Copies of this chain bind each other. A is one copy, B any other.
Amino acid sequence: MARFAVLTSGGDAPGMNAVIYGVHDEATAKHAEIVGIPEGFKGLASGDRIELAEPVVSPAILSQAGTILRTSREADLRLGHVVADCVASLSRLGIDGLVVIGGAGSLRGVERLRVSSKVPIAFVPATIDNDIEGSEETIGFDSAVNYGVAAVDSLRVTAESLLHRAFLVEVLGANCGRIAEAIAAATPIDVLIVPERPLAQEEVARRMREALNTRYAIAVMTEGCGEAGAVARELGEIMGARVRPTVLGHSQRGARPTARDRRLGLACGRSAVSALLAGTSEDVVVRRGAPTLRPVGSPRAQVP
Protein backbone atom coordinates (compact mmCIF):
# COMPACT_ATOMS: atom_id res chain seq x y z
CA MET A 1 0.00 0.00 0.00
CA ALA A 2 1.49 3.25 -1.17
CA ARG A 3 1.89 6.01 1.36
CA PHE A 4 1.78 9.61 0.28
CA ALA A 5 2.27 12.86 2.15
CA VAL A 6 0.78 16.28 1.46
CA LEU A 7 1.81 19.72 2.63
CA THR A 8 0.93 23.35 1.92
CA SER A 9 3.76 25.85 1.69
CA GLY A 10 4.28 29.62 1.51
CA GLY A 11 1.40 32.06 1.57
CA ASP A 12 -1.94 30.34 1.91
CA ALA A 13 -4.46 30.64 -0.91
CA PRO A 14 -8.22 30.05 -1.11
CA GLY A 15 -8.73 26.61 -2.62
CA MET A 16 -5.78 24.94 -0.90
CA ASN A 17 -8.27 22.98 1.18
CA ALA A 18 -9.92 21.74 -2.01
CA VAL A 19 -6.55 20.42 -3.18
CA ILE A 20 -6.04 18.66 0.17
CA TYR A 21 -9.52 17.17 -0.10
CA GLY A 22 -8.86 16.04 -3.66
CA VAL A 23 -5.55 14.45 -2.66
CA HIS A 24 -7.15 12.68 0.26
CA ASP A 25 -10.16 11.56 -1.72
CA GLU A 26 -8.22 10.20 -4.67
CA ALA A 27 -5.62 8.48 -2.46
CA THR A 28 -8.36 6.84 -0.43
CA ALA A 29 -10.17 5.74 -3.57
CA LYS A 30 -6.98 4.18 -4.89
CA HIS A 31 -6.24 2.49 -1.57
CA ALA A 32 -3.21 4.63 -0.84
CA GLU A 33 -2.47 5.97 2.60
CA ILE A 34 -2.24 9.71 3.00
CA VAL A 35 -0.31 11.59 5.67
CA GLY A 36 -0.65 15.30 6.38
CA ILE A 37 2.47 17.37 7.09
CA PRO A 38 1.69 20.49 9.14
CA GLU A 39 3.23 23.91 8.49
CA GLY A 40 4.89 23.21 5.16
CA PHE A 41 8.54 22.38 4.76
CA LYS A 42 9.17 23.46 8.34
CA GLY A 43 6.92 20.63 9.51
CA LEU A 44 8.51 18.24 7.04
CA ALA A 45 12.00 19.14 8.25
CA SER A 46 10.82 18.50 11.82
CA GLY A 47 9.21 15.22 10.86
CA ASP A 48 5.78 16.34 12.08
CA ARG A 49 2.62 14.72 10.81
CA ILE A 50 -1.10 14.94 11.39
CA GLU A 51 -3.84 12.46 10.78
CA LEU A 52 -5.91 13.19 7.70
CA ALA A 53 -9.34 11.75 8.38
CA GLU A 54 -12.82 12.95 9.29
CA PRO A 55 -13.54 15.43 10.75
CA VAL A 56 -10.20 17.06 9.89
CA VAL A 57 -10.81 16.38 6.21
CA SER A 58 -14.50 16.83 5.47
CA PRO A 59 -16.37 18.44 2.59
CA ALA A 60 -16.89 21.47 4.83
CA ILE A 61 -13.24 22.49 4.51
CA LEU A 62 -13.74 23.38 0.85
CA SER A 63 -15.76 26.45 1.74
CA GLN A 64 -12.96 27.88 3.85
CA ALA A 65 -9.93 29.81 2.68
CA GLY A 66 -6.57 29.06 4.21
CA THR A 67 -5.25 25.57 4.76
CA ILE A 68 -6.18 23.05 7.42
CA LEU A 69 -2.56 21.84 7.24
CA ARG A 70 -1.27 25.30 8.06
CA THR A 71 1.68 26.65 6.24
CA SER A 72 4.95 28.35 7.01
CA ARG A 73 7.62 30.40 5.33
CA GLU A 74 10.37 29.55 7.76
CA ALA A 75 12.14 26.49 6.33
CA ASP A 76 14.62 27.60 3.69
CA LEU A 77 15.41 24.86 1.20
CA ARG A 78 18.43 26.79 -0.03
CA LEU A 79 20.08 25.53 3.16
CA GLY A 80 21.59 22.09 2.86
CA HIS A 81 20.68 20.97 6.36
CA VAL A 82 17.00 21.85 5.84
CA VAL A 83 16.95 19.76 2.68
CA ALA A 84 18.69 16.96 4.53
CA ASP A 85 16.11 17.10 7.32
CA CYS A 86 13.28 16.91 4.79
CA VAL A 87 14.87 13.95 3.03
CA ALA A 88 15.34 12.20 6.34
CA SER A 89 11.73 12.80 7.36
CA LEU A 90 10.40 11.42 4.08
CA SER A 91 12.44 8.33 4.63
CA ARG A 92 11.57 7.92 8.30
CA LEU A 93 7.86 8.42 7.61
CA GLY A 94 8.04 5.88 4.79
CA ILE A 95 6.66 8.27 2.21
CA ASP A 96 6.37 6.98 -1.37
CA GLY A 97 5.34 10.30 -2.86
CA LEU A 98 4.83 13.89 -1.77
CA VAL A 99 2.28 16.47 -2.86
CA VAL A 100 3.42 20.06 -2.37
CA ILE A 101 0.75 22.76 -2.68
CA GLY A 102 2.08 26.30 -3.01
CA GLY A 103 3.32 29.18 -5.12
CA ALA A 104 6.43 30.18 -7.01
CA GLY A 105 8.70 30.13 -3.96
CA SER A 106 7.50 26.68 -2.99
CA LEU A 107 8.10 25.40 -6.52
CA ARG A 108 11.73 26.49 -6.24
CA GLY A 109 11.91 24.62 -2.94
CA VAL A 110 10.47 21.54 -4.62
CA GLU A 111 13.13 21.72 -7.30
CA ARG A 112 15.86 21.84 -4.66
CA LEU A 113 14.36 18.94 -2.77
CA ARG A 114 14.11 16.84 -5.91
CA VAL A 115 17.88 17.09 -6.36
CA SER A 116 18.46 15.32 -3.06
CA SER A 117 15.45 13.06 -2.74
CA LYS A 118 14.31 10.17 -4.87
CA VAL A 119 10.78 10.40 -3.54
CA PRO A 120 8.54 11.57 -6.38
CA ILE A 121 7.08 14.99 -5.75
CA ALA A 122 3.94 16.37 -7.40
CA PHE A 123 3.64 20.14 -7.18
CA VAL A 124 0.23 21.84 -7.33
CA PRO A 125 0.15 25.58 -8.12
CA ALA A 126 -1.88 27.39 -5.47
CA THR A 127 -1.25 31.07 -4.99
CA ILE A 128 -3.41 34.12 -5.31
CA ASP A 129 -0.68 35.81 -7.37
CA ASN A 130 -1.10 33.64 -10.49
CA ASP A 131 2.63 33.78 -11.21
CA ILE A 132 3.50 30.13 -11.87
CA GLU A 133 5.19 29.77 -15.21
CA GLY A 134 3.43 27.18 -17.35
CA SER A 135 0.10 27.51 -15.50
CA GLU A 136 -2.47 29.74 -17.08
CA GLU A 137 -4.23 30.06 -13.77
CA THR A 138 -3.33 29.19 -10.21
CA ILE A 139 -5.67 28.05 -7.46
CA GLY A 140 -6.69 31.03 -5.33
CA PHE A 141 -6.42 33.63 -8.06
CA ASP A 142 -10.11 33.63 -8.99
CA SER A 143 -11.13 34.04 -5.33
CA ALA A 144 -8.73 36.93 -4.75
CA VAL A 145 -9.94 38.66 -7.89
CA ASN A 146 -13.58 38.30 -6.92
CA TYR A 147 -12.82 39.72 -3.48
CA GLY A 148 -11.17 42.74 -5.07
CA VAL A 149 -14.04 43.31 -7.48
CA ALA A 150 -16.50 43.26 -4.58
CA ALA A 151 -14.48 45.96 -2.78
CA VAL A 152 -14.51 48.14 -5.90
CA ASP A 153 -18.26 47.54 -6.23
CA SER A 154 -18.83 48.85 -2.73
CA LEU A 155 -16.67 51.90 -3.38
CA ARG A 156 -18.53 52.65 -6.53
CA VAL A 157 -21.96 52.70 -4.96
CA THR A 158 -20.94 55.35 -2.45
CA ALA A 159 -18.90 57.17 -5.08
CA GLU A 160 -22.01 57.56 -7.21
CA SER A 161 -23.99 58.95 -4.29
CA LEU A 162 -21.57 61.70 -3.33
CA LEU A 163 -19.71 62.67 -6.47
CA HIS A 164 -16.25 64.06 -7.10
CA ARG A 165 -14.32 61.94 -4.65
CA ALA A 166 -11.13 60.02 -5.46
CA PHE A 167 -10.28 56.52 -4.26
CA LEU A 168 -7.16 54.38 -4.33
CA VAL A 169 -7.51 50.64 -3.77
CA GLU A 170 -4.42 48.67 -2.84
CA VAL A 171 -4.66 44.98 -3.68
CA LEU A 172 -2.39 42.02 -3.04
CA GLY A 173 0.03 40.54 -5.55
CA ALA A 174 3.42 41.57 -4.16
CA ASN A 175 5.35 42.57 -7.28
CA CYS A 176 2.98 40.84 -9.68
CA GLY A 177 0.20 42.93 -11.16
CA ARG A 178 -2.06 40.10 -12.31
CA ILE A 179 -4.63 40.41 -9.55
CA ALA A 180 -4.95 44.14 -10.18
CA GLU A 181 -5.17 43.58 -13.93
CA ALA A 182 -7.88 40.97 -13.57
CA ILE A 183 -9.90 43.27 -11.32
CA ALA A 184 -9.56 46.03 -13.90
CA ALA A 185 -10.65 43.62 -16.64
CA ALA A 186 -13.85 42.87 -14.72
CA THR A 187 -14.89 46.34 -13.62
CA PRO A 188 -14.08 49.63 -15.33
CA ILE A 189 -11.64 51.70 -13.28
CA ASP A 190 -9.82 54.92 -14.08
CA VAL A 191 -6.18 54.09 -13.41
CA LEU A 192 -4.38 50.76 -13.07
CA ILE A 193 -1.05 50.86 -11.24
CA VAL A 194 1.03 47.67 -11.53
CA PRO A 195 4.72 46.97 -11.05
CA GLU A 196 5.14 45.74 -14.63
CA ARG A 197 4.18 49.10 -16.16
CA PRO A 198 5.29 51.91 -13.85
CA LEU A 199 3.41 55.19 -14.22
CA ALA A 200 4.75 58.58 -13.16
CA GLN A 201 2.76 59.92 -10.24
CA GLU A 202 1.94 63.01 -12.24
CA GLU A 203 0.38 60.83 -14.90
CA VAL A 204 -1.69 58.95 -12.33
CA ALA A 205 -2.78 62.23 -10.80
CA ARG A 206 -3.67 63.63 -14.21
CA ARG A 207 -5.92 60.70 -15.08
CA MET A 208 -7.57 60.70 -11.68
CA ARG A 209 -8.14 64.44 -11.88
CA GLU A 210 -9.82 64.00 -15.23
CA ALA A 211 -12.10 61.25 -13.92
CA LEU A 212 -12.79 63.25 -10.79
CA ASN A 213 -14.02 66.19 -12.79
CA THR A 214 -16.47 64.00 -14.68
CA ARG A 215 -17.85 61.84 -11.86
CA TYR A 216 -15.41 60.21 -9.43
CA ALA A 217 -12.03 58.51 -9.66
CA ILE A 218 -11.06 54.94 -8.76
CA ALA A 219 -7.48 53.72 -9.08
CA VAL A 220 -6.37 50.15 -8.35
CA MET A 221 -2.76 49.59 -7.28
CA THR A 222 -0.73 46.46 -6.57
CA GLU A 223 0.80 46.50 -3.09
CA GLY A 224 4.32 46.35 -4.53
CA CYS A 225 3.89 49.84 -6.03
CA GLY A 226 3.82 51.61 -2.71
CA GLU A 227 1.95 52.02 0.55
CA ALA A 228 -1.56 53.21 -0.25
CA GLY A 229 -1.80 55.74 2.57
CA ALA A 230 1.37 57.49 1.47
CA VAL A 231 0.61 57.26 -2.24
CA ALA A 232 -2.89 58.64 -1.65
CA ARG A 233 -1.42 61.60 0.22
CA GLU A 234 1.11 62.33 -2.50
CA LEU A 235 -1.46 62.03 -5.26
CA GLY A 236 -3.81 64.22 -3.30
CA GLU A 237 -1.21 66.96 -3.07
CA ILE A 238 -0.65 66.92 -6.80
CA MET A 239 -4.35 66.79 -7.51
CA GLY A 240 -5.40 69.32 -4.93
CA ALA A 241 -8.06 66.90 -3.75
CA ARG A 242 -8.31 64.27 -1.05
CA VAL A 243 -7.63 60.71 -2.18
CA ARG A 244 -9.15 58.07 0.09
CA PRO A 245 -7.27 54.78 0.40
CA THR A 246 -8.74 51.31 0.76
CA VAL A 247 -6.24 48.58 1.54
CA LEU A 248 -7.52 45.03 1.14
CA GLY A 249 -4.50 43.60 2.90
CA HIS A 250 -4.63 40.01 3.95
CA SER A 251 -8.41 40.02 4.07
CA GLN A 252 -8.11 39.37 0.36
CA ARG A 253 -5.97 36.32 0.97
CA GLY A 254 -8.71 34.95 3.21
CA ALA A 255 -11.38 35.36 0.52
CA ARG A 256 -14.05 32.70 0.36
CA PRO A 257 -13.01 30.14 -2.27
CA THR A 258 -14.98 30.46 -5.49
CA ALA A 259 -16.50 27.47 -7.26
CA ARG A 260 -13.74 27.70 -9.86
CA ASP A 261 -10.92 27.55 -7.31
CA ARG A 262 -12.60 24.62 -5.63
CA ARG A 263 -13.08 22.75 -8.87
CA LEU A 264 -9.50 23.39 -9.96
CA GLY A 265 -8.30 22.47 -6.48
CA LEU A 266 -10.16 19.17 -6.38
CA ALA A 267 -9.05 18.25 -9.89
CA CYS A 268 -5.41 19.19 -9.32
CA GLY A 269 -5.30 17.29 -6.04
CA ARG A 270 -6.60 14.19 -7.80
CA SER A 271 -4.15 14.60 -10.67
CA ALA A 272 -1.26 14.92 -8.25
CA VAL A 273 -2.14 11.57 -6.70
CA SER A 274 -2.44 10.00 -10.15
CA ALA A 275 1.05 11.23 -11.00
CA LEU A 276 2.47 9.80 -7.79
CA LEU A 277 0.73 6.48 -8.31
CA ALA A 278 2.45 6.33 -11.68
CA GLY A 279 5.68 6.73 -9.78
CA THR A 280 6.74 9.89 -11.56
CA SER A 281 7.81 13.29 -10.27
CA GLU A 282 5.71 15.84 -12.06
CA ASP A 283 4.31 19.30 -11.72
CA VAL A 284 0.61 19.79 -12.07
CA VAL A 285 -0.06 22.88 -14.09
CA VAL A 286 -3.37 24.37 -15.12
CA ARG A 287 -3.99 24.70 -18.84
CA ARG A 288 -7.35 25.66 -20.33
CA GLY A 289 -9.05 25.44 -16.99
CA ALA A 290 -7.94 21.89 -16.20
CA PRO A 291 -4.95 20.20 -14.57
CA THR A 292 -2.18 19.04 -16.89
CA LEU A 293 0.90 17.10 -15.88
CA ARG A 294 4.30 18.52 -16.81
CA PRO A 295 7.27 16.17 -16.57
CA VAL A 296 9.97 17.58 -14.36
CA GLY A 297 12.85 19.05 -16.31
CA SER A 298 10.74 19.86 -19.33
CA PRO A 299 11.40 23.35 -20.58
CA ARG A 300 8.50 25.31 -19.19
CA ALA A 301 8.06 27.48 -22.19
CA GLN A 302 7.34 24.42 -24.29
CA VAL A 303 4.47 23.12 -22.26
CA PRO A 304 1.69 22.93 -24.85
Contact = CB atoms under 8 A, between A and B. Distances in A.
Nearest to A256: B154
Interface string A247-287: 11111111110111011001100000000000000000000
B25 A155 contact: no
A192 interface: no
A30 to B, nearest CB: 16
A163 interface: yes
A302 to B, nearest CB: 18
Contact of A66 (B18, B146, B157): B157
Nearest to A10: B162
A186 B259 contact: yes
A258 B146 CA distance: 7
In this complex, the interface size class of chain A, counting residues with CB under 8 Å from chain B, is 35 or more
Contacts of A182: 259, 263
Instruction: Tell me how many chains of this kind the complex includes.
Output: 4
Interface string A132-171: 0000110000100111110111111111111101010110
A2 interface: no
B250 A246 contact: yes
Interface in A225-252: 227-230, 244-252
Interface stretch (A57-65, A201-209, A293-301): A57-65
A186 B22 CA distance: 10
A249 B165 CA distance: 12
Contacts of A255: 154
Given A254-B154, A266-B185, A160 B246 contact: no
Given A153-B63, A228-B229, A185 B142 contact: no
Nearest to A183: B259
